[in-house]
Structure 1
Amino acid sequence: MEHRRLGRSGLKVSEISYGNWLTHGSQVEEDAAHACVRAALDAGVTTFDTADVYANTKAESVLGRAIAGQRRESLELATKVYWPTGPGGPNDKGLGRKHIVESAHASLRRLGTDYIDLYQAHRFDHQTPLEETMSAFADLVHQGKVLYLGVSEWTADQITRGAALARELKVPLISNQPQYSMLWRVIEKQVVPASEREGLGQIVWSPMAQGVLSGKYLPGAEPPAGSRATDESGGKDMISRWLRDEVLTAVQNLKPLAEQAGLTMPQLAVAWVLQNPNVASAIVGASKPEQVVDNVAAAGKTLDADLLKAIDEALEGVVTTDPGLTVSPPRI
């Protein structure tokens, strides 16, 4: 496993992060979740990403139990705040001071730790003054409960505004967590340049486009039994946008390119996002330990210019690039 600096900060994260969005506390049993975490640790993963909203707080608790007994200083724990949690009361959501502070304390308890390495605004809150949000985050940093700050799915303008306040408050805003893959490239035109200018790095989610880039979904065929596309409680809605025959046909064109590079399809997808110099880490999830082992093998791989060009040609016409699609919800 190789590590990269996150933005212009002094924090280093593993090129592959382990995330538990659709797995811990919902899709897989706890024993299987622990086995996946152990596989990630054995493979050299040190960065673990979660959020209070995942499985309505259960995912954080599962991760906390899975890493219990590990040397805390050897891990980078990242979690997030914004979406509704708990019973859904009026202050159980958003980026107001009350919700941020209470959520941070609850995340600390669930994760079984005294501090969070990277605390992220899970979306931009249009209903709360940004000054209030950043001030609340700054207080957590100054209290030693949070080491670094990040955001997720913020636009270039929102990142610029947040970074200006972070400098004023003298706190480290160092990362953005966007969706990014061969098929979804909306961050490239605006978000990445703004992040580079402001000193943020990307920790990207869904590098395999919800599993479509694994190549297991075939045009004109029903999704494989037990796959994410058949999961009514988890990923079915998210993956449905990719299950068009023109997309699936284009993805099949990647198979010979992966073979040429000596990579599996998932490894090619993860390695591709890591070719972007502003990307510090790619988040992968897993329901089985062997999936972790396969994905982690993408770390440290270099894809040459000819291969990158061939990938672009194979996917021509099915790639989404519109930066306007990086939009936080207007209301919560």
Structure 2
Amino acid sequence: MTLVRLGYVAMSMHVPNSSPSQTMTVKSFNKIDNKEAAILKLGRIARSNLQNTLRILKHNAAHSIRFYRMTSRLIPLATYEELAGWDYIGAIESDLREVGDYASENDMRLDFHPDHFVLINSPKKEVLKMSVKTLMLHRQLLEGMGINSQYRCVLHVGGVYNDRELAMERFIQNWMVVPKTIQEMIILENDDKSYHLNDTLYLCEKLGIPLVFDYHHHLAHFQHRNWADEWQRVVATWKDSYLPIKMHISSPKDEKQFRSHADYVDAEMFMDFLNEIKGSVPQIDCMIEAKKKDAALFKLMEDLRGHDNIEIVDGASFYIR
């Protein structure tokens, strides 16, 4: 048997007015003549985002959801060059701790998936520098929450830059200049266009990085269709992790838009995956990447109830036999 826990990404469809991604644009910031007032406004937005995150976590706890991906947009303009001296962590310290304490008390796994512009394998030094700066922000957020930052940030390998093999080797070269405190946060995901499972496994095994298997991405982009042949290699990348192995699950919007995420998860597609991996690991945490967020999680749990080899534990977890 394998324990399966479901989670979802950032927004809740069931908690009204709870966006944790409220923001302010650079243009709006620059329109405010009093920069001190503008910075105070940024702090208020960040605190509101964290309070909404806490509201969502309380909603999750009520439904036994113990796996949740936080938005990377908690603090607007945190990496904006003109705000280099802003002590944004100091401005939200108590709110960060409140979120972290609640997650800890309720045994919740929280993580991040920084935006697509975080590119370790970029040929441009300034892009790599900004990527490290953005990842450092994520580390500071986790530290402020009192959360162990190991294996908390999912990244894609990055761009192809007209030469995929060279870009992979550049990832390795650039990895050597990434601070170790950032390296230990990273887990890599296979993607749907550039770096398939075997590419990502090559880097993960070479650099000691856990691999997050995205099943939908694999169906859209693969070197070898039978991913199950590589499953034990995926599991082995997590051998040093104190966290259970994790994967991403979503379904195609339709055949024409196969790479796009559907509103909900196709339970039969998910069962195809689960029936291959059951018993191979004691626990797996599955992040739902569906448009309907927590509503997709609730529907998936309901759809799985009819299967003979599913034993429901609570509102967001079950055993697969």
* TM-based fold match above 0.5: no
TM value normalised by structure 1: 0.42
TM value normalised by structure 2: 0.43
Larger Rg: 2
